[in-house]
Amino acid sequence: MTTDPVPAPAQHPLAHIVFYAPCIPGNSGAAIRLAALTGAMLHLVEPLGFDMSEAKLRRAGLDYHDLAHVRVHPNLDSALEATSPGRVWAFTAQAETTMARVDYAVGDVLLFGPEPTGLPEEVLTDPRITARVRIPMRPGLRSLNLANAATLAVYELWRQHDYVGGG
């Protein structure tokens, strides 16, 4: 899955998208496509709620699997070590700061929790987390789809850097 026919090598990705214990294969498949299209790197932290060969994952990623940089990690420590020294933005509804108020740097880590629950408190209080951020929504609604949330965050980071490497 990690080949380099695209301009953004894994050593210098636009951003690191980290899905902590993702459950829905289609969301991770869509994130594979997102990583390929933007030059980001996708990190999936076990346990995964699906098998990487699952048809829904492959269908959502379509033919982008060979163009994306994807790593599966046994735990969050491994993922954060692989993304160091990037700042870590934990996306959660339990945050005051909205994603548009963050000045992102190329190589930052965008951390998202599992679809049904979001990031657990032990992750949100990890000292390696730079800050908690939220995506604005209308009151009383739970959350965006995981892949949609990651897309918004990656494109906000990329927009702030004038879509470097894009066309």
- pTM over cut 0.85: yes
Pick the CATH number of 16-160 from 3.40.50.2300, 1.10.3720.10, 3.40.1280.10, 3.40.640.10: 3.40.1280.10
Predicted confidence (pLDDT) per residue in 42-87, tens digit: 999 999 988 877 565 555 444 555 556 889 999 999 999 999 998 9
Which pLDDT score is estimated for 8?
43
Distance of CA 115 to the CA centre of its chain: 13
Length of the chain: 167
* DSSP structure string for 110-140: EEE--TTT-S-HHHHT-TT--EEEB----TT
Candidates 152, 30, 165; CA nearest to 91 is: 152
Which pLDDT score is estimated for 17?
97
Going from N- to C-terminal start, the domains of the chain cover: 16-160
Tokens of 163: 């879509």
Which pLDDT score is estimated for 110?
98
User: Mean pLDDT, consecutive 10-residue segments, the chain of 167 residues?
Assistant: 42 92 90 91 93 62 60 96 95 94 97 94 97 93 90 97 89
Question: Is 28 annotated as belonging to a binding site?
Answer: no
Which pLDDT score is estimated for 70?
87
Question: Is 143 annotated as belonging to a binding site?
Answer: yes
Question: Is 135 annotated as belonging to a binding site?
Answer: yes
